[in-house]
Amino acid sequence: MGSFTIKENIERVSDKFKKNDLELCLMACIKKDRSFLYLQDSYKLSQSEQSEFDLSLEKLNASMPIAYILGNQPFFRSDFKVNSNVLIPRPETELIISETLNIGDKLHNEKNKIRVLDVGTGSGCIGLSIGKERPEWQITLSDISTKSTTVASENMRALDLSNCQILASNWFNAFDNHIFDVIVSNPPYIDQNSRLIDDGVLKFEPHEALFASQNGIGDIEVIIKTAQRVLKPGGFLIIENGYNQSRQVVNLLEEQDYGDIKVLMDYNKIARFTSSRKNNDG
């Protein structure tokens, strides 16, 4: 089969797919920026570029998220490699980084080199973004999935971060007592019976990154109940939750005697994050 120009390629499928998705796929296939698509729209794709673009169309047609097709996703101030072994970083999760930086800045001083743990790190997007912003902090990233830690390690190398380390652990099992100043986590929190999930998410994103037991709160509960062992006295836990889980999260934190509980909103004014503090005598 022959190949088409940029203009013809967009026109022949523009009623089926989003224009931006088509442009991103074309840019990746011909390795040019967006201005080239507009200024040189009579450029005819080579046979191999056309085959690659046609393959991208098949993936779009199967509802594969564009980040998996391109193999990367911008998040905070970096680009993260992603594949179907890791959750695609979501824009709202960027807010947890700003909160962690604010809290850590208050704890950090010359004597106290602060240690942060990102549990359930997936692509590494949270921990590595924090590590990039604060090279003087020590960041540990962990995940139960070694396929995730492989992707996170590739991202760490690409970002050239020497203050981060990555390991596999079932939540806090791999860690000693009282070693972290801040724990941050975006754990799985979707109810297994939820019907509100997009087709592309359900078909392509790893289910162990999305779903949790007990109507979605199971992993959050385990983290809240076990994080105190590895937190230093006065250390902070900052956790993301589902759109309807904030009240339950606050109740669990109160039951476990955390203090300074603060609920934060996401870009859509949903109570999405909670920061809290382990008591000093804990």
Q: Give yes or no for residue 172 binding ligand SAM (CB under 6 A).
A: no
Shortest separation between residue 232's beta carbon and ligand SAM, angstroms: 21
Q: How far apart are CA 258 and CA 146, in angstroms?
A: 31
- The residue count of the chain comes to 282
How many residues belong to the site for ligand SAM (CB under 6 A)?
22
H or E element: which one contains 51? helix 47-61
Q: How far apart are CA 78 and CA 207, in angstroms?
A: 25
Query: Using CB under 6 A, which of 28, 57, 68, 89 touches ligand SAM?
Result: 89
Shortest separation between residue 144's beta carbon and ligand SAM, angstroms: 4
Query: Using CB under 6 A, which of 49, 143, 181, 191 touches ligand SAM?
Result: 143
Shortest separation between residue 145's beta carbon and ligand SAM, angstroms: 4
Question: Which lies closer to ligand SAM via its Cβ, residue 9 or residue 241?
Answer: 241
Q: How far apart are CA 280 and CA 152, in angstroms?
A: 33
Q: What is the residue whose two structure tokens read 């089926």?
A: 16
Q: What is the residue whose two structure tokens read 């507009």?
A: 38
Phi, psi of 275 (to 5 degrees): -105, 145
Q: Give yes or no for residue 120 binding ligand SAM (CB under 6 A).
A: yes
Shortest separation between residue 96's beta carbon and ligand SAM, angstroms: 8
Shortest separation between residue 80's beta carbon and ligand SAM, angstroms: 9
- Comparing CA positions, the residue from 102, 94, 92 lying closest to residue 134 is 102
- Long-range CB contacts (within 8 A, 24+) of 60-63: 60/17, 60/21, 60/25, 61/16, 61/17, 62/203, 63/198, 63/199, 63/200, 63/203, 63/204
Query: Using CB under 6 A, which of 22, 116, 125, 252 touches ligand SAM?
Result: 125
Measure CA 190 to chain center. 15
Q: Give yes or no for residue 241 binding ligand SAM (CB under 6 A).
A: no
Shortest separation between residue 202's beta carbon and ligand SAM, angstroms: 14
Q: Give yes or no for residue 100 binding ligand SAM (CB under 6 A).
A: no
Map the footprint of ligand SAM across residues 188-207, applying CB under 6 A.
188
Query: Using CB under 6 A, which of 73, 100, 148, 241 touches ligand SAM?
Result: 148
Query: Using CB under 6 A, which of 56, 129, 145, 275 touches ligand SAM?
Result: 145
Q: How far apart are CA 233 and CA 189, in angstroms?
A: 27
Residue 72 carries which side chain, given as an amino acid letter?
N
Q: Give yes or no for residue 221 binding ligand SAM (CB under 6 A).
A: no
Query: Using CB under 6 A, which of 53, 171, 175, 273 touches ligand SAM?
Result: 171
Residue 107 corresponds to which tokens in the numbers above? Answer: 């704890």
Provide the binding-site residues for ligand SAM, judged by CB under 6 A. Answer: 87, 89, 93, 119-123, 125-126, 143-145, 148, 170-171, 186-188, 208-209, 219
